[in-house]
Chain A
Amino acid sequence: MSTVDTERTITVTVNGVPREATVPVRRLLSDALRHDLELTGTHVGCEHGVCGACTVLVDGDPVRSCLMLAVQVDGRSVTTVEGLARDDHQGGSVLHPVQEAFRECHALQCGFCTPGFLVTIAAGLDERDASVELTEEEVDDMVGGNLCRCTGYANIKKAVHAAAAAMREAG
């Protein structure tokens, strides 16, 4: 008797690039991203959906990739932290304002929870009208679902403000 699971070949657009992978059907999305597609920026902190370190965007929405099966994203698009920077069409890339803000505001220490925060906040900032000033409630909303053990969150909140301000300025 063998315990090899049924496998399935999935096609998923990850950070704008179509990727194919053949995965056991029970493979978590977090593991598929990290080990099958070798995008190790997404981290696994708890595997039960509480800490948010594994957050990625599926079709633009923040999702706990440790609570999804890889086969569930077949035919869909996924954005990970590796996909937040934009191509500058000159051979390099431009960081997303939230990434810049995190560095500027010292909003990360060990960096393990950081990708989950970046992806969630980027989604939050990208979907709102940048010209409107950011409220504390919006900040709380964007950072309230991820755990960080290092920073105490103060600088993370600062970074959200800084990123929003940068986006407002960029027009």
Chain B
Amino acid sequence: MTTKLFGEPVRRREDARLIVGKGRYLDDIGHTALAAAFVRSPHAHARIVSIDVDAALDVEGLVAIYTYEDLVGPMAEPLPVLIPHPQLTAPRTGYPLANGEVNHVGEPIVMVVATDRYVAEDAAERILVTYEELPAVVGVDAAHEARHAVHDDVPDNVAARHHQETGDVEPALAASPRTLTFTQYIERSASMPMEGRGVHARWDADDASLRVHTATQASTSVRAAIAAKLQLSLDKVEVVAPDVGGGFGVKIMHPWPEELLVPMAAIALGADVKWSEDRREHFISSAHERQQRQEITVGFDDEGRLTALDVTVWHDNGAYTPYGIIIPIITATQLIGPYVIPVYRVRVDSVYTNTVIVTPYRGAGRPQACYAMERTMDRIADVLGLDRALVRERNLIQPSQFPYDAHLTFQDGRPVVYDSGDYPGLMTKLKDLVGWSETSQLRDDAAARGRLLGIGMAMYVEGTGPGPYEGGHVQVLGSGKVLVATGLTSQGQGHETSFAQIVASELGVPIEDVEVTTGDTRRFPYAVGTFASRAAVMSGNAIALAARGVREKALRIAADVLEASPDDLEIEDGVVQVKGVPGASIPLRTVAVLSNPLRYAFDEAAKQATQFTTHDDSKPPVAPGDAPGLEHRDYYSPLRSTFASGAHAAVVEIDPATWEIDVVRYAVVHDCGNVVNPMIVEGQVHGGVAQGVGGALYERMAYDADGQLQNASFMDFLMPYASEVPDIDIDHQSTPSPLNPLGIKGAGEAGVIPGTAAIASAIEDAVGRRITSMPISPTELYDLVRSPDSELTATAVRRAGTGAMA
């Protein structure tokens, strides 16, 4: 049996419990806990006048009611700004419970604790809050217009002005042979994992310690936040991420008010407390992302080569800025994609609105960036009458140009330097995969069936695996079991499998012996979190390094026992043997036992390690600088992010009677360097593409002018079912990363990044009208096509001229 599993589509270890319903998600634990529910603001912007709890007191089973007045010390301070930045000049955050003012529908005001959730909601319903309503600011346009302010002391509603430039763009534009300017919008969507958020807290009064389970992507950071806010010593707080039903970014945001309040209540009441949100709560009190207004001016020549690019973005950050300006930075830096752009300037105004906060959703600003760049390339091609693939090809960074310094600063504070890639290779593969050259044939065939057909493409480069670090711990037990731990978390990415593959490969043990734990501060306390497609890159490498440390120690100990040189040894199937000498071997588990010299023999295996069994009088049992046990802890800290890339193409058919948009073909070429488990990576791409299609055609948070979210349920916020997701053709390319030992790049977000851009391009190609706002519904498409004000593409005009279908 081979133990070289790196790169193999190993079936997942976690599935065994998940397919029989034995997963342990947050709401599955704590059956006897008290339940928390919240009174949340029904208004987008208001002052709280009074809170009357009298009617709630009649509810049988009520235990506690908390308002802002019950918060003391750091809990009474605003929630943290997690990622400060010098350009974030007007950061604002809320309070765990509203302090006199609410700034979005859904903001928590009162926490109720009762014997169960039904009772807690009964009590919450009876609490009477009176408000003085204030004008609400909704959408980037209203925010920028600033007739009203979300925060009184930020009258222009601008939280930050993010600005990067690589040269002097205005003269460069002026000197360009051609320029074009356009404005487009992309609308708000959200991660929307199938499991909402939840927190369970248990306080042990005997040793004054707190254990919190939370459906989070960042358990170590939640731990630090809880300790700080509740004024507990860090060593008295443990945070565990249980099985988590999807995150997609929304669970990276922390500390949620609930993550602080539920532990606070557990301590105050001396009882376990649990909060498990319902779907409406998730819609109105978690986080959204994506809305931007983009104004783009590009300079180019007659061949379609870029000379200068100037982008101004208004980014909707919602009511508060707890996550800083990470998304604006990512949009700003990832916008350039795979292209050589001689001069680039980007300015992103991050503006406040009276809506739910904006924190990363898979892609985290890259879908918007891709939409900006790729639609620019489409327009250049359109104006010049050139093939859209050709224009892109003419601007691609060439393989010989790596490492490619883009002269920008990334979200990790480090320079944007593309480490490796083959963008022309992506394009070649994509055209092949989707049948780019056959499009006019496809168009004619569709026309014969009475359908409009269009094709679009989009390319992207994705910075993945930012630091500062992740760590791994690998330990071989005397039983032969190999325990692996890392601090970041899992929400379905198959870490228990892919990390086990790495250890099995590095150490030479059967994968069945390897057990991986993620996201538990008791097992690994130093970590950053799961986001930015970094888990495999960061923890994968750290775990590999830790495994190598274990291997080295194992060989050293075994070499002693086998009286051989470590160089002559290999480990396979959990047995250390002298290469080429079959009889000379020792099981790794025995090495583990021997690594810990014992006085007391607890079992048969331990007997081998006791002082009367193994002795060398000339040396101490544990050598100076060494430690007992066959384990090793190591960290991977990257110099910079590593840059994955890809290209997607979509073919759409539109029914000119109903204007329904059908994605009939979807092609993906994907490069994430070396791959640990290709089955898992492909699964990530599938899921990302579904979210890309969803974001392009179906998903939009519909706020009205008063800041009411009109579609706060799955009935009206449309996510793709199986019927909406096209079959996906995938081809791979692999340009390994030179930055980390395993040569891997991140893959988690790739699938979603170019979806909106590629589908917008395809729809525009099909109907010949300029698409300037996404997502687009059949009704909106119908209106667009009918409207005398909508812009015809030059391509459409040309096709009409030649008699071909426009």
Complex-state Cα separation, A66 to B25, whole angstroms: 18
A124 to chain B, nearest CB (A): 13
Q: Which of B20, B122, B192 contacts A81 (CB 8 A)?
A: B20
Contacting B at CB under 8 A, from A1-26, are: 1-4, 24, 26
Q: Is B415 an interface residue (CB 8 A)?
A: no
Q: Is A44 an interface residue (CB 8 A)?
A: yes
Please name the residue on chain A nearest to B9 by beta carbon: A106
Q: Is A45 an interface residue (CB 8 A)?
A: yes
Q: Which of A3, A4, A48, A144 contacts B723 (CB 8 A)?
A: A144
CB-based contact A102/B19 at 8 Å: yes
B382 to chain A, nearest CB (A): 31
Q: Is B18 an interface residue (CB 8 A)?
A: yes
CB-based contact A48/B687 at 8 Å: no
Measured between beta carbons, the chain A residues less than 8 angstroms from B243 are 110-111
Contact with B along A37-67 (1 / 0, CB 8 A): 0111111111110110100000000000000
CB-based contact A81/B683 at 8 Å: no
CB-based contact B20/A150 at 8 Å: no
CB-based contact A41/B278 at 8 Å: no
CB-based contact A113/B60 at 8 Å: no
Most buried by A among B24, B248, B721: B721
Chain B contact residues: over half helix, strand or loop, or mixed? loop
Contact status of A2 and B60, CB under 8 A, knowing A43-B245, A47-B278, A109-B493:
yes
CB-based contact B248/A149 at 8 Å: yes
Measured between beta carbons, the chain B residues less than 8 angstroms from A110 are 193-195, 243-246, 491-492
CB-based contact A149/B192 at 8 Å: yes
CB-based contact A1/B58 at 8 Å: yes
Contacting B at CB under 8 A, from A124-154, are: 140, 143-154
CB-based contact B28/A147 at 8 Å: no
CB-based contact A118/B714 at 8 Å: no
A114 to chain B, nearest CB (A): 6
Q: Is A156 an interface residue (CB 8 A)?
A: yes
B207 to chain A, nearest CB (A): 28
A42 to chain B, nearest CB (A): 7
Measured between beta carbons, the chain A residues less than 8 angstroms from B691 are 149
Complex-state Cα separation, A106 to B35, whole angstroms: 35
Measured between beta carbons, the chain A residues less than 8 angstroms from B682 are 106
Q: Which of A38, A48, A99, A157 contacts B20 (CB 8 A)?
A: A99
Q: Is B494 an interface residue (CB 8 A)?
A: yes
CB-based contact A81/B21 at 8 Å: yes
Measured between beta carbons, the chain A residues less than 8 angstroms from B687 are 109, 149-152
Q: Is A162 an interface residue (CB 8 A)?
A: no
Contacting A at CB under 8 A, from B196-235, are: none
A130 to chain B, nearest CB (A): 20
Contact status of A40 and B725, CB under 8 A, knowing A108-B18, A150-B687:
no
Measured between beta carbons, the chain A residues less than 8 angstroms from B660 are none
Q: Is B316 an interface residue (CB 8 A)?
A: no
Complex-state Cα separation, A85 to B22, whole angstroms: 12
Please name the residue on chain A nearest to B490 by beta carbon: A110
Q: Is B293 an interface residue (CB 8 A)?
A: no
Measured between beta carbons, the chain B residues less than 8 angstroms from A47 are 278-279
Measured between beta carbons, the chain B residues less than 8 angstroms from A103 are 11-12, 15-16, 19
A165 to chain B, nearest CB (A): 17
Complex-state Cα separation, A47 to B243, whole angstroms: 20
CB-based contact A80/B21 at 8 Å: yes
CB-based contact A150/B713 at 8 Å: no
Measured between beta carbons, the chain B residues less than 8 angstroms from A104 are 11
Measured between beta carbons, the chain A residues less than 8 angstroms from B61 are 3-4
Complex-state Cα separation, A1 to B22, whole angstroms: 40
Q: Which of A34, A45, A81, A150 contacts B492 (CB 8 A)?
A: A150
Measured between beta carbons, the chain A residues less than 8 angstroms from B28 are 34, 40
Please name the residue on chain A nearest to B690 by beta carbon: A152
Complex-state Cα separation, A26 to B121, whole angstroms: 13
Q: Is B59 an interface residue (CB 8 A)?
A: yes
Measured between beta carbons, the chain B residues less than 8 angstroms from A140 are 722-723
Most buried by A among B19, B22, B279, B685: B19
Q: Is A35 an interface residue (CB 8 A)?
A: yes
A50 to chain B, nearest CB (A): 4
A7 to chain B, nearest CB (A): 12
Most buried by B among A99, A111, A145: A111
Contact with B along A54-89 (1 / 0, CB 8 A): 000000000000000000000000001110110000
Please name the residue on chain A nearest to B30 by beta carbon: A35
B60 to chain A, nearest CB (A): 4
CB-based contact A152/B686 at 8 Å: yes
Most buried by A among B22, B31, B194, B690: B194
Measured between beta carbons, the chain B residues less than 8 angstroms from A143 are 722
Contact status of A114 and B18, CB under 8 A, knowing A27-B118, A46-B714:
yes
Q: Which of A3, A84, A149 contacts B246 (CB 8 A)?
A: A149
CB-based contact A34/B246 at 8 Å: no
B68 to chain A, nearest CB (A): 26
Complex-state Cα separation, A85 to B751, whole angstroms: 34
CB-based contact A48/B721 at 8 Å: no
- Chosen A-B contacts, 17 in total, with CB atoms closer than 8 Å, are A27-B118, A39-B21, A41-B23, A43-B25, A45-B245, A47-B278, A81-B20, A81-B21, A108-B18, A110-B244, A112-B194, A146-B721, A148-B194, A152-B687, A153-B722, A154-B686, A154-B728
Known interface pairs A152-B687, A156-B722; 15 further A-B residue pairs with C-beta atoms within 8 A, sorted by A's residue number: A41-B20, A46-B279, A46-B714, A50-B714, A51-B714, A81-B20, A82-B20, A103-B12, A103-B15, A106-B682, A108-B15, A109-B493, A145-B721, A149-B193, A151-B683
B: which residues have CB within 8 A of A? 9, 11-12, 14-16, 18-25, 27-28, 31, 58-61, 116, 118-119, 122, 192-195, 243-246, 248, 278-279, 491-494, 679-680, 682-683, 685-691, 713-715, 719, 721-723, 725, 727-728, 751
